[in-house]
A and B are shown apart, each in its own frame.
Chain A
């Protein structure tokens, strides 16, 4: 019997083994490897965004400082915003966490479209390199991440800075679209038998919500970017008031993307919280269906609130009140979740290890940022504080406190799964407390300077405004935050080399990834698990049955890269698909796309047309060898 199991597992190993060396990484289609590639690339961009932030904070440490001039400062805050949103949080959540964990949680062997997944990563990486080559060559985007026209039009911004902005974001958007489509299909069609929607982990609901949000929000941004590119380089007049265009059109299209985007950034964090809380309280989440619906609703209602970014643009009051009403509604899914998390913590038996500490910190930060967010539905107050540091305080509590703290918590939580090692607990907790103190020192005084009248996006400020001491505290907080992040990663690096072996389930975690070895084998599950609750790893009977099914050779699917396909609603088996092996085409396609973007910066349309043909040829090569034919 045992030999049979070993033989089966060996056969799976042989079937799924990855090509060794650098080439293996460049051509991989394994969701775990691509997840790790996303993770490392994203961390580099996080570092860059952090350095930009600290440079700005150092410039603002005192009135009339001269560390950087206005030209560089404007590029810094533009690229900082873009980096943290598009090259850190989105790829870190959907790209790294989603890639690595969603297939494991739904009991699949890979994402639905593995080569497409590789393509998203390489386009993502190319878009980031594209942006930073632009920045270092003195052409960094300089009209803010929101890039309002007419400031971003050719007349007022004649350089190539905005081409870097539009084209890097178009590339990035292609990548995000592919990833979200991939995650949606994976969640819809590759769930393990028995995992109907009411048995799907909340983490997957959150990533489903984020992916749906991205899929429907990004086209609006892409259209906006294409219009801007055409206005600047081809002579169209989408945003040109003198020729019947509209500057507000940019803002509408931008925020129709930009507000759902804010929820897209934090919903994955909600998902991470809903994994860590059950694991460290050893208790199921309270109000599971409410939380699942709230995760989806927050993104859905998020599509109806965009004009609250435009309360001061002179839109008619009726319009403003409508959007304020929608903004009021979007609060409710968030309050549901806040109280579901906190009551679940009380009702269970919480163990305040590092991941749960980060979640407790997250709840605190999210509530502070959420409360100031609610204040913006009061239109007169919004119009008093919009474009001041009060808003910066608000959304950094949300984005750093609520989106990034759970990412840090998640890094600690899944570190044993990914590396097979335990992290060191005490330095982990220390890093949490440094970050908690640092971020509050950094962001809390911003509320006050904002109310004292300090506008956003100023590279310096006068001495007699009463803003200096708050800014000093903020900058100190910024450096403490930086130290906290360094301690956090130093701990993870040391743990990687020195940590004790973790075993497959150090936390007694609730979901399927904890039922397999750490790090997971290439094929993830030797036998496809059968699931009967959203906490499948706690259903010991089910997991024992999986062991017996493996021994009996049931659901092993070792005739190639095989992956069962399930029905949309109830999750039962409807077929078996052959998944592709590693492939050189995704990275080649990404390379050609990036070349196209590069020549478009300098308006070489003929060369771009030629590259478009090359791109088509690449896609032909890609499809010349479909996995079904092997």
Chain B
């Protein structure tokens, strides 16, 4: 027992070292221990505190188990030890848990919640709407007619209040490096605040099981300096300048391209699809080759997604892909 207890604790140290290493660097944009906002930072700090206290608690119990191993061949003591149980099992946990409860559920919960609509923060915050779909994210900006998909651009060091809802099943909006998650419920609108302390690209992913392609429902948050963001928003509001008859024939039942007769909003808005970094909600990078692959066989790239097989010829695929990639 003792040996194994040591071995387990040894393994644990190695593992914790690994966590610390990952928390320190080599990020991939979806790491709750590498926060880039005060909110996510306070949650990560809380985790390290809880981990410390928990490790101590576990050590106490392991010590008791190891001690019992040493007592294995001795005479039993008839000394009643109810007092030990009352102290270790009631008094100490009550204090520790009361502290955790007050700190996290009275103070921390406020700091990480969306600001109340009447507050100053809410007034100066950028407000955007995210609508969940099987299996992609619709992103709407209040100014102009800006609708995009799977990529959220925000100004850095600015509070952003995201109103989330769903068009079909329950999804969950989660950018671990920026804040805690919030479910997207059909028929309800929930709010979550995101804030990026430094410019960069942060990954998010649907966290509530939503069907066949729940695994491929990612998105990126791009936090840019305010002027870059303003330029992006301006560009994004521009309607498309070119029209494709093939697109109107085959794709406009579901997709919108602002400035053309294609106005359907079943699938993602494609007005500026050429400027996005990924396709199919983070499944593949956005290149001409991938675009062709996607248009030709969407069900092979992301089986079970809502885009049907269109049975196009290679030439049509190429024409459409080229057209769409030109929509910057």
- Least CB distance from B182 to A in Å reads 6
Report the minimal beta-carbon distance from B289 to chain A, rounded to whole angstroms. 18
Contacts of B111 on A, CB cut-off 8 Å? 380
* A74 partner residues in chain B, CB cutoff 8 A: 209, 211-212
Report yes or no: B22 in contact with A377, Cβ–Cβ below 8 A.
Answer: no
Q: Check: B19 CB closer than 8 A to any chain A CB.
A: yes
B90 engages A336 (CB within 8 Å): yes
The answer for the CA separation of A388 and B101 in the assembled complex, in Å, is: 22
Interface membership of chain B positions 26-43, coded 1 if the CB is closer than 8 angstroms to chain A and 0 otherwise: 101011110000011011
Flag whether A372 is at the interface (Cβ < 8 A).
yes
In contact, B168 and A346 (Cβ under 8 angstroms): no
User: With A287-B85, A331-B97, A383-B182 as given contacts, are A445 and B104 in contact (CB-CB < 8 Å)?
Assistant: no
B266 within 8 A of A: no
CB of A350 within 8 A of CB of B71, answer yes
Given the complex, which residues of A lie within 8 Å of B57, measured CB to CB? 367, 371
Q: How far is the CA of A372 from the CA of B39 in the complex (A)?
A: 21
Q: Does B313 contact A (CB under 8 A)?
A: no
Say whether B97 contacts A346, CB under 8 Å. Answer: no
| Sample of 5 A–B contacts (CB below 8 Å) | A143-B209, A148-B170, A383-B181, A452-B28, A465-B30
**Which stretch (A196-204, A227-235, A310-318) binds chain B?**
A310-318
List residues 360-374 of chain A with CB under 8 A from any CB of chain B: 360, 363-364, 367-368, 371-372, 374
B105 interface residue per 8 A CB criterion? yes
Number of A residues with CB within 8 Å of any CB on chain B:
89
Interface residues of B in 187-203 (CB under 8 A from A): 187-188, 190-191, 203
Q: Which residues of B contact A387 (CB under 8 A)?
A: 172, 174, 181, 207-209
A455 touches B212 (CB 8 A): no
Using A314-B190, A321-B106, A345-B65 as known contacts, say yes or no to A335 and B81 having CB atoms under 8 A apart.
Answer: no
* C-alpha spacing A292/B64, complex, angstroms: 22
A458, B180: Cβ atoms closer than 8 Å: no
Contacts of A70 in B (CB 8 A): 212-213, 215, 303-304
Residues of B within 8 A of A453 (CB): 28, 30-32, 176, 203, 205
Contact count A vs B, C-beta below 8 Å: 283
Residues A314 and B43 in contact in the complex (CB < 8 Å), given A332-B94, A352-B1, A364-B65: no
Could you say which of B30, B98, B106 contacts A452, with CB atoms under 8 Å apart? Answer: B30
Q: Are B172 and A343 in contact (CB under 8 A)?
A: no
Query: Which residues from A are CB-within-8-Å of B76?
Result: 281-283, 347-349
B71 touches A349 (CB 8 A): yes
Whether B187 and A241, one on each chain, are in contact in the complex, defined by CB atoms closer than 8 angstroms, is yes
Inter-chain contact B100/A461, CB cutoff 8 Å: no
- The residue in chain A whose Cβ has the minimal distance to the Cβ of B54 is A371
B210 within 8 A of partner (CB): yes
A385 in contact with B32 (CB, 8 Å): yes
Report B92-111 residues with CB < 8 Å from chain A CB.
92-94, 97-98, 100-101, 103-106, 108-109, 111
Which among B54, B108, B181, B303 has the highest number of chain A CB atoms within 10 Å? Answer: B181
Which A positions have Cβ atoms within 8 angstroms of B?
A: 69-71, 74, 143-144, 148, 150-151, 156, 241-242, 247-248, 281-283, 286-287, 290, 312-314, 317, 320-321, 324-325, 328, 331-332, 335-340, 342-352, 357, 360, 363-364, 367-368, 371-372, 374-375, 377-381, 383-388, 433, 436, 440, 444-445, 448, 451-453, 455-462, 464-466
Distance of A452 Cα from B24 Cα, bound (Å): 12
Instruction: Give the 7 A-B residue pairs with the shortest CB-CB distance, closest first.
Output: A453-B30, A314-B190, A378-B104, A241-B187, A383-B180, A458-B215, A339-B89
Given A377-B105, A384-B43, are A340 and B85 also a contact pair (CB < 8 Å)?
Answer: yes
Please tell me if the beta carbons of A332 and B93 are within 8 angstroms of each other in the complex: yes
In the bound complex, do residue B61 and residue A451 qualify as a contact, i.e. CB atoms below 8 Å apart? Answer: no
Interface residues of B in 48-75 (CB under 8 A from A): 50, 54, 57-58, 61-62, 64-65, 67-69, 71-75
- Taken together as a complex, chains A and B put the C-alpha atoms of A190 and B153 apart, in Å, by 69
- Report whether B170 and A151 are in contact in the complex, using a CB–CB cutoff of 8 Å: yes
Write out the residue numbers on chain B whose beta carbons fall within 8 Å of the beta carbon of A339. Answer: 64, 84-85, 88-89
| Contacts beyond the supplied A312-B183, A448-B19, A452-B31: 10 A-B pairs with Cβ under 8 Å | A337-B89, A339-B84, A346-B64, A346-B68, A352-B69, A360-B1, A363-B65, A374-B97, A453-B176, A455-B214
B320: CB under 8 A from chain A?
Answer: no
Once A342-B64, A343-B81, A456-B209 are accepted as A-B contacts, the answer to whether A375 and B105 lie under 8 Å apart by CB is no
B121 located at the interface, meaning its Cβ lies under 8 Å from any Cβ of chain A in the complex:
no
Using Cβ atoms and an 8 Å threshold, which residues of chain B touch A325?
Answer: 101, 105
Q: Given the complex of chains A and B, what is the CA–CA distance between A97 and B39 in angstroms?
A: 48
Distance (whole angstroms) from the CB of B117 to the closest CB of chain A: 14
Query: Are B28 and A381 in contact, with the CB atoms below 8 A?
Result: no
Known contacts: A74-B212, A378-B105, A453-B30. The answer to whether A312 contacts B181 by CB under 8 A is yes
> Is B232 among interface residues, defined by CB-CB distance under 8 A?
no
Residue pair A248, B207 in contact (C-beta under 8 Å) = no
Given A151-B211, A287-B82, do A335 and B88 touch, yes or no (CB 8 Å)?
yes
Q: Are the C-beta atoms of A343 and B97 separated by less than 8 Å? A: no
A-chain residues with CB within 8 Å of residue B42 when the two chains form the complex: 380
**Residue from B8, B54, B168, B208 in contact with A156 in the complex, judged by beta carbons closer than 8 Å:** B168
Shortest CB distance B5–A (Å): 8
- Chain B residue numbers with a CB within 8 Å of A282 are 76
Question: Which residues does chain B contribute within 8 Å of A459, judged by CB atoms?
Answer: 215
Residue B101 contacts which of A328, A349, A383 (CB distance < 8 angstroms)? A328
B113 on the A face (CB < 8 A): yes
Q: Which residues of A contact B282 (CB under 8 A)?
A: 462
Residue in B closest to A359 when the chains form the complex, CB atoms: B65
List A contacts of B77 (CB < 8 A).
Answer: 347
- Which of B18, B50, B106 lies in contact with A448, CB distance below 8 A? B18
